[in-house]
Amino acid sequence: MELKRVVVTGLGALSPIGNDVATTWENARNGVSGAAPITRFDASKFKTQFACEVKDYNPADHFDRRQMRQLDLYAMFALTAADEAIADAGLDGEGIDKNRVGVIFAAGIGGLHTLEEEAGYFAVHGEEQGPKYNPFFIPKMIADIAAGHISIAHEFRGPNYATVSACASSNNALIDAYNTIRLGYADAVVAGGAEAAVFPAGVGGFNSMKALSTRNDDAKGASRPFSGSRDGFVIGEGAAALVLEELEHAKARGAHIYAEVAGAGMSADAYHITATHPEGLGARLVMENALKDAGMKPEDIDYINLHGTSTPVGDRSEAKAIVDVFGPHAYEINLSSTKSMTGHLLGAAGALEAVLCVKTITDGVIPPTINHEEGDDDPEVDPRLNFTFNKAVEKNVDTVLSNTFGFGGHNAAVILKKFKG
């Protein structure tokens, strides 16, 4: 069976550094941080009091009152980003067989705030009033519901589900979309991820694990991947979507093609529920698997968008894995962690980073890893690696690899390349 080629024909983003793709990309290439004091709740008693929130987003601009009662914020984010990608791709136009268009949309957690509200009300009033739950509680909370809402809104009747693998979730969504199309089960898939966990349970839960930065006096400088003084990740929120499409289907309808999906890999650390393998075993395997799937050699990769969350253990193991996989070529590749600007969007991270990778290919600009200070090096990270610190680099980029690693030892990597016909 001959596998079909898969291309990217639409992009959408709602992020801490921009409420659409154009703004997000402009701020990423200019090294703008999305971190600021938390506004979604009173965080004054929390160890971490800042986050990378979506800014100036009014759900009423996108949804009517009835819809807002039925949607958790994460699903609102998902629908907004998906709408941009679908419009960009022209996927709602005439002549589209909607029975052949799918939606595979991820969330690492799902409707966390809805769960907080409903469980919190019962905890306070349950003994007196008994159970009084909103009938929308379950369908607002579950992690698959964003995919369902996107499908319903656009009448896409192809494969429709969510992928959940913590911080690797939306790369898994992209991989499933890629495989679904190249195996012939759909003509196009809206793939991506959304997350809205900047609420007490999200911040408090990650704080209890000592996973978050507590640099409250320097929110914008807190996410500093691969720097020696890094002290944890900065939680983010938002959504991103990509329209993946079978090449001949895209060409037949005259769609604009941004890039081609070249390959993908998956692996497991099989080591620990939250910590990455200290030798980067799973990270090494996932990059090797992606290269094998793409039929590429390490020397074919021009840029790696790193998982790079700014945690002490995770950054070291990823850096070690890159040296192990790429050998001498590791020192010639530009690397960067855009989480230094966007924060960590958890289940939406891979999709947002894939959007940025596509723009890297189309515009020939590699976004930086910001917040590195002279001399702030980690002695356990190879100093010969080029993390594109602090300033974007203009460079012709043909092929990019994007890494995501999630709690549970889940690893997923995607390779994108310049479309050349």
- Out of 113, 149, 249, 344, pick the active-site residue: 344
Which structural domains are found in the chain, ordered by start?
Answer: 6-417 (3.40.47.10)
Q: Give the mean pLDDT of 415-421.
A: 96
Helix (H, G, I), strand (E, B) or coil at 265: strand
Contact 11, 88 (CB under 8 A): yes
User: What is the per-residue pLDDT for 421?
Assistant: 85
Is 167 among the catalytic positions?
yes
In which residue are the tokens 């010639």 written? 332
What are the residues whose beta carbons fall under 8 Å from the beta carbon of 242, sequence distance 6 or more?
A: 8, 10, 11, 12, 85, 174, 190, 191, 192, 351, 354, 355, 358
pLDDT by residue (tens digit) across 27-52? 999 999 999 999 999 999 999 999 99
* Predicted local distance difference test score (pLDDT) of residue 391: 98
Question: 131-164, pLDDT tens digit by residue?
Answer: 999 999 999 999 999 999 999 999 999 999 999 9
The yes-or-no answer on residue 307 being catalytic is: yes
Within 247-355, strands assigned E span 259-268, 303-305, 334-336
What is the rounded average pLDDT for all residues in the chain? Answer: 97
In the chain, % of residues over pLDDT 70: 100
Q: Tally Cβ neighbours within 10 Å of residue 253.
A: 18
The length of the chain is 421
Tell whether the model's pLDDT for residue 173 goes beyond 90: yes
Specify whether 256 is catalytic. Answer: no
What pTM did the predictor assign?
A: 0.98
Q: Indicate the helix (H) or strand (E) that contains 126.
A: helix 112-129
Q: Going by DSSP bridges, is the β-strand pair 365-366/101-106 parallel, antiparallel, or unpaired?
A: unpaired
Give me 279's structure tokens.
Answer: 């030798």
pLDDT computed for residue 335 by the predictor: 98
Which is the catalytic residue, given 149, 154, 249, 307?
A: 307
Pick the catalytic residue from 52, 149, 167, 410. Answer: 167
Q: How far apart are CA 163 and CA 171, in angstroms?
A: 9
Band (94; pLDDT cuts 50, 70, 90)? confident
Are the CB atoms for 45 and 285 separated by under 8 Å? no
pLDDT at 267: 98
pLDDT tens for 199-239 read 999 999 999 999 999 999 999 999 999 999 999 999 999 99
Question: CA–CA separation, 6 vs 181, rounded Å?
Answer: 7
Give the residue among 26, 155, 33, 166 at the shortest CA–CA distance from 108: 166
Place of tokens 């589900």: 161
pLDDT digits (tens, 9 = 90+) for 369-389: 999 999 999 999 999 999 999
Task: Identify the burial level of 194 via C-beta atoms within 10 angstroms of its C-beta, where 0-12 means exposed, 13-18 middle and 19 or more buried.
Answer: buried
Q: Is the pLDDT of residue 1 over 90?
A: no
At 120, the pLDDT band (50, 70, 90 cuts) reads very high
Residue ranges of alpha helices (H) inside 4-64 are 21-29
Mean pLDDT of all residues in 88-99: 94
